[in-house]
Structure 1
């Protein structure tokens, strides 16, 4: 709990590049949803709107006027996304503005999420690019009032943010961004995730080229690379990261079943071991899907809260609509479904293919599917 006092800059826990702040009931609901759709934000809201799961979700509560929180956010974040009225924001940030080369990006969103307004540091601070990404993520309208638009290229630190993509490491963000802005040769390889990431009406700049494989990209000897994949790269592919960034799309779905009372530690260990065997990235998990008989299974609730994954459940009838290679009469006898982990993963991922057919490990059954995007 953050106790705000006049004249004292509060201590905050910073883990993401952007801060998302809400001060109304509806704003808090929007912030909680947005944290799932746009995961590179630390969420702050007033303690009186506490839901009880804030510690698990990494949400920071505060008591007192939000004006006293803003100086700490200004110092520690690349950008502030405020679900607060524009007039109030202008008045609150006016005394703490320093210089357009130092001030963070500031965005304002209305309570309904209909409009996303670039308020401060549009060009240099990246507020305009951030406005587009946030608006696309939440289905709002971007409002940008600067006379000239930003360079129509890829904002490296926000690439795919509207889809929930996150980077594997921020180590090369700055040099890769420099290569993009300076129109050096940039390779893009996409193996998974949403394909509609180019958001401008103009064509992709000629210096940015797309390749089918990482091997092809390496052979072209680019100055920088953007790799969109849910795989762990092979050793002979890692050279692309000398000046490259890996983006993890939310493309993997875990289909799971478990014995009643299984611990979250066992669930987590099985997931880690399975992903390691398949050379898949945990940051690319979108959801955990199972049968609705397990909607109150605590280990599933805890693991999805821990990592911010969606938790989806389906009725036996919905699961039985999916094609199964290994239908089980035993499972049907106890659940009414001929399978759980496989059809749940396929149903959520909107596919009939599996990266992993059901694997039994201790108290846990796991399957994995990759989401299809059009």
Structure 2
């Protein structure tokens, strides 16, 4: 899904630059352009409601992934301040001067992607990106940046901050690659070593693992959880979200998989609007992927089928073929489990799907 970018301005000159920036990103992101009513023309629309920027900040912070603000940085800081929550939730916020000379990464440089967005936009409009995050300035690697590069997530933000501080101080840190993820595209500082298991030679560890059973020392050990597990799912009509969620949690626990490793709920078109399934996916922060019937039929003979399921859906199976296709024909972690009107299977994404 394309990221949602909003381009905001408060002057005629700013509105023109915002429009130019929007055109530069057209086709790659979802674009909305807002300005004051007296400057609204072309793709630019007036701010919703009373037409004032001040009344729009709360909605903007909630509805968009990236805010591109062509105005003084002070206006932006005062505007967004009441709505800043946490680096895991806040959108990327960029600030441009009206002359288009600088693109400043103001908020959510790493997790929100503001640093990357500033670099991309700057290149498109011939501006200079301004990045102030410590690891970027020093040419080093932050834990949250590493997580993004490897399609991982983490839950202990304090530990991530502490380990990043060790890297910035050029202290010895280990990446313990228990999950065997591909690190070949990541440039690591000389003080960061990669091992298969923990040793006592470093001051901090980044443990890459899907396991829900890791015992980490608080403060200087952080777990990165690869988001590479696909759940194939079928369910009876109107199955409650609570029941589906409980079943999924039970299956993950049985295979000692961290819930954050679950990235996708894969199912068929007939279940595209099944609210229990949709709400359960939201509870895990997972996307819902609808697998086309033709794709299911092309692989369903690999799995045990059901005459009853075929009568209802026109397909011999749902959970296993949907999970297999959505994972890019990945490896099966857990074959189909049935019960209480829910069928589940677990798959690890093939390398080209990550």
Which TM class, normalised by the smaller chain length?
A: 0.5 to 0.7
Residue in 2 aligned with 1:249? 226
Residue in 2 aligned with 1:50? none
Residue in 2 aligned with 1:108? 94
Change (3 A) 1:62 1:272: farther
Local SS of the residue matching 1:359? strand
**1:120-159 to 2 correspondences below 5 Å:** 130-133=113-116, 144-146=128-130, 150-159=137-146
Residue in 1 aligned with 2:76? 93
Task: Work out the CA distance in 2 between the residues paired with 1:132 and 1:120.
Answer: 6
Answering whether residue 313 of structure 2 is matched by residue 328 of structure 1, we say no
Contact 2:105/2:114 (CA < 8 Å) preserved in 1?
Answer: no
Which of 268, 276, 289 does residue 245 from structure 2 map onto?
Answer: 268
Residue in 1 aligned with 2:104? 119
Residue in 2 aligned with 1:166? 153
Task: Work out the CA distance in 2 between the residues paired with 1:127 and 1:360.
Answer: 41
Task: Work out the CA distance in 1 between the residues paired with 2:242 and 2:112.
Answer: 39
Contact 1:193/1:251 (CA < 8 Å) preserved in 2?
Answer: no
Change (3 A) 1:338 1:119: same
Answering whether residue 346 of structure 2 is matched by residue 360 of structure 1, we say no
**1:210-359 to 2 correspondences below 5 Å:** 210-212=194-196, 216-217=197-198, 219-234=199-214, 238-239=215-216, 243-322=220-299, 324-359=302-337
Task: Work out the CA distance in 2 between the residues paired with 1:280 and 1:190.
Answer: 16
Report Cα offsets for 1:257-316 as digits up to 9, x if no partner.
Answer: 111111111111111111111111111221111121111222122223444421112233
Change (3 A) 1:248 1:91: same
Give the TM-score normalised by structure 1: 0.64
Residue in 2 aligned with 1:57? none
Contact 1:107/1:127 (CA < 8 Å) preserved in 2?
Answer: no
Local SS of the residue matching 2:305? coil
Report Cα offsets for 1:81-131 as digits up to 9, x if no partner.
Answer: 7523x4235462377899xxxxx9974289xxxx9x751569xx9579954
Residue in 2 aligned with 1:204? 188
Local SS of the residue matching 1:355? strand
Change (3 A) 1:172 1:62: farther
Count of paired positions: 297
Task: Work out the CA distance in 1 between the residues paired with 2:77 and 2:320.
Answer: 55
Give the TM-score normalised by structure 2: 0.67
Deviation at 1:340, TM superposition (A): 0.8
Contact 1:23/1:66 (CA < 8 Å) preserved in 2?
Answer: no
Contact 1:341/1:366 (CA < 8 Å) preserved in 2?
Answer: yes
Local SS of the residue matching 2:211? coil
Task: Work out the CA distance in 1 between the residues paired with 2:245 and 2:208.
Answer: 25
Report Cα offsets for 1:53-91 as digits up to 9, x if no partner.
Answer: xxxxxxxx99774446769x99xxxxx97523x423546
Query: Could you say which structure has the greater relative contact order, defined with CA pairs below 8 angstroms and 6 or more residues apart?
Result: 1
Q: Which runs of 5+ in 2 are unaligned?
A: 9-18, 35-47, 82-86
Task: Work out the CA distance in 2 between the residues paired with 1:285 and 1:248.
Answer: 10
Deviation at 1:336, TM superposition (A): 2.6
Change (3 A) 1:34 1:346: farther
Q: Which runs of 5+ in 1 are unaligned?
A: 1-19, 36-44, 46-60, 75-79, 99-103
Residue in 1 aligned with 2:84? none
Contact 2:111/2:145 (CA < 8 Å) preserved in 1?
Answer: no
Contact 2:109/2:115 (CA < 8 Å) preserved in 1?
Answer: no
* Higher Rg of the two aligned structures: 2
RMSD across aligned C-alpha pairs, in angstroms? 4.6
Change (3 A) 1:93 1:147: closer
Residue in 1 aligned with 2:41? none
Report Cα offsets for 1:161-203 as digits up to 9, x if no partner.
Answer: 356532121231232122111111111133459636855xxx5
